[in-house]
Amino acid sequence: MSKGKLLAVCVVWLMLLSVGVATWKVFFAPAAAVSQAERERQEAEQARLEREQRMSRGGAESRYRTEVTIALDGFSGYAVLRSPAFAEDLRRQGIRLNLIDDGADYPARLKSLKEGQADLAVFTIDALVKASAQAGDLPATIVAVIDETAGADAMLAYKQTYPNVDALNDPDTRFVLTPDSPSETLARVVMSRFQLDLLPDDPYIAVADAAAVVKKYKDSRPTDNLAYVLWEPYVTQMLKNDRVHVVADSSRFPSTIVDVLVASDDFVTKNPETVVQVVRSYLKANYDHRSDSDRVRLVVEDSADAGAKLTQEEATRLVEGVWWKNTQENLAHMGVRTGTRLPHIEDMISRVTKLLLESGAINSDPTGGRPNYLYNDNILQQLSSFHPGEDGEQIRGVSLPALSDQQWGSLVTVGSARAPTLVFARGTARLTGRSQSLLDELAASLESTRYYVIVRGNASRRGDPEANKRLAEQRAQQVERYLVGQGVDANRIRAIGVEPSGSTSVSFVLGELPY
């Protein structure tokens, strides 16, 4: 194409483009502007009409941008969730709080999350695992740790009938408790940690609630083969009888009976910012009631609002028996903060699931061996730099203090630990590979059992008696060293040799200081 023709083509295209632009400006642009202006006018008119309608009804703009429904029950440990401080902090963020008391019906609670009737809910970890196993689904995820009981749940009995846990090992023993409650979990963990092989397959007497446990106790005789498993304030009420004592309580099994805040998977996916704000407001309200006196006052007021006011003594005992988890402890449990002795939420779920499986409470693991499916650490990660107040929060420890030789000698035997039979090579203290594997399992169990441990070595009676005594002690010491190497606190374990009885293994005795 010649230069002249190319120039002519360019001129033609420029003319066509100019005509098109002029046409748009003359015909289409004004229409588009009019259309946009009309839409804005209609929206303004609609807003005006709505304001007039509200004014005619005496209404106003809502102060809330959203509403959050939390399902829970009347346990006083949830008093912070029912506190004015929690509701007010949410209110300042434009969130209306709606609480539903379902009477501790955990399967119904999980269903309400799945069907969208509740957005968040409170569960114990064991109740969440059990309800999920029954439902065959995982519709909810843990977003925060509320508390763990540290004595608020207890197993009580008459001293003359059951002076310690070992005395429970009888085919006539029955546990009076409320099914699908922390009390049932406490009974199961006691059976899993102690050598109670003589108990019947189903040792439970099921009653409706803790008040019904107390009624059963009042109707019984001191010689009846009954142990009563219940929670505060009913524990305090029963202990007013000097003939009754605590056989075991939840303070001895850390990270086992743990209350958690869970969110519906659907809700946390659609509204992650709201869930973060709910957790933040809860931690702030928990901080505001951090002193024991504030907690006791809150619990008394909360119980009065529920129509079952606690006495000062009952409220104090309950506060002493519950470990409310602060912000830093939540960050530690979720792995956001490292370098602490608090267990990760994933390990807590695994231990509880294993307990439920071994005790027959569930037939299968609802997570399919993936406990990480049951928690969401992203919420706490977004709060990693959050400080609820000016005073710093500390991560509290769960270690037992070191004992003097005199204190070790004064330990009160609680019971014989449920432990595997270890195999030693004949005449030696050397652990076999199989025995090391069994001790690994025992170490994991002892990690969530807060008793002192006495390892008693034994040996054959054949041969030199003194040499056998030394061998018995060496076996106990070898086991002690191995368990400490696997993470068991050296302050709470001691190896001793006993008079050889013919056994070639070791036994484990759990003990506590006398009150």
Q: Do 278 and 171 share a domain, yes or no?
A: no
* Residue 419 within a domain: yes
Tell me the pairing of strands 174-177 and 226-231.
parallel
* Residue 285 within a domain: yes
Enumerate residues 6+ apart whose C-beta is below 8 A from 442: 417, 419, 420, 483, 508
Q: Do 428 and 487 share a domain, yes or no?
A: yes
Q: Do 86 and 195 share a domain, yes or no?
A: no
Among the three residues 225, 251, 277, which one is the final residue of a domain in this structure?
251
CATH number at residue 125: 3.40.190.10
Question: Tokens 């506190």, residue?
Answer: 83
Q: Do 144 and 262 share a domain, yes or no?
A: yes
The amino acid sitting at 97 is: L
Number of domains comprising the chain: 4
Determine contact, residues 282/144, Cβ cutoff 8 Å.
yes
* Residue 76 within a domain: yes
Determine contact, residues 249/151, Cβ cutoff 8 Å.
yes
Q: Do 420 and 454 share a domain, yes or no?
A: yes
Q: Do 143 and 265 share a domain, yes or no?
A: yes
pLDDT of residue 498: 82
Q: How far apart are CA 296 and CA 284, in angstroms?
A: 18
Distance of CA 428 to the CA centre of its chain: 43
Q: Do 506 and 478 share a domain, yes or no?
A: yes
pLDDT of residue 191: 96
Q: How far apart are CA 161 and CA 169, in angstroms?
A: 12
3-state secondary structure of 103: coil
Tell me the pairing of strands 153-158 and 244-249.
antiparallel
pLDDT of residue 213: 98
CATH number at residue 425: 3.30.1330.60
* Residue 377 within a domain: yes
Question: Tokens 């010689």, residue?
Answer: 223
Q: Rg (Cα) of the chain, in Å, rounded?
A: 32
- Strands of 89-196 (E only): list them: 95-101, 120-124, 140-149, 153-158, 174-177
* Residue 198 within a domain: yes
Per-residue pLDDT of the chain (515 residues; tens, 9 = 90+): 565 665 565 655 666 666 665 555 655 555 555 566 677 777 777 767 766 666 566 567 788 999 999 999 999 999 999 999 999 999 999 999 999 999 999 999 999 999 999 999 999 999 999 999 999 999 999 999 999 999 999 999 999 999 999 999 999 999 999 999 999 999 999 999 999 999 999 999 999 999 999 999 999 999 999 999 999 999 999 999 999 999 999 999 999 999 999 999 999 999 999 999 999 999 999 999 999 999 999 999 999 998 889 999 999 999 999 999 999 999 999 999 998 889 999 999 999 999 999 999 999 999 999 999 999 999 999 999 999 998 889 998 778 999 999 999 999 999 999 988 887 877 888 888 889 999 999 998 998 899 999 999 888 778 788 888 899 899 999 999 999 999 999 999 999 988 877 677 789 999 999 87
Q: Is the pTM here over 0.75, yes or no?
A: yes
Q: Do 49 and 90 share a domain, yes or no?
A: no
Among the three residues 186, 219, 251, which one is the final residue of a domain in this structure?
251
* Residue 9 within a domain: no
Phi-psi region of 164 (alpha: psi -120 to 50; beta: other; left: phi over 0): beta
* Residue 201 within a domain: yes
Q: Do 267 and 365 share a domain, yes or no?
A: yes
Q: Do 289 and 362 share a domain, yes or no?
A: yes
Q: Do 261 and 352 share a domain, yes or no?
A: yes
Among the three residues 197, 231, 251, which one is the final residue of a domain in this structure?
251
Q: Do 140 and 259 share a domain, yes or no?
A: yes
* Residue 428 within a domain: yes
Residue 187: domain span: 153-251
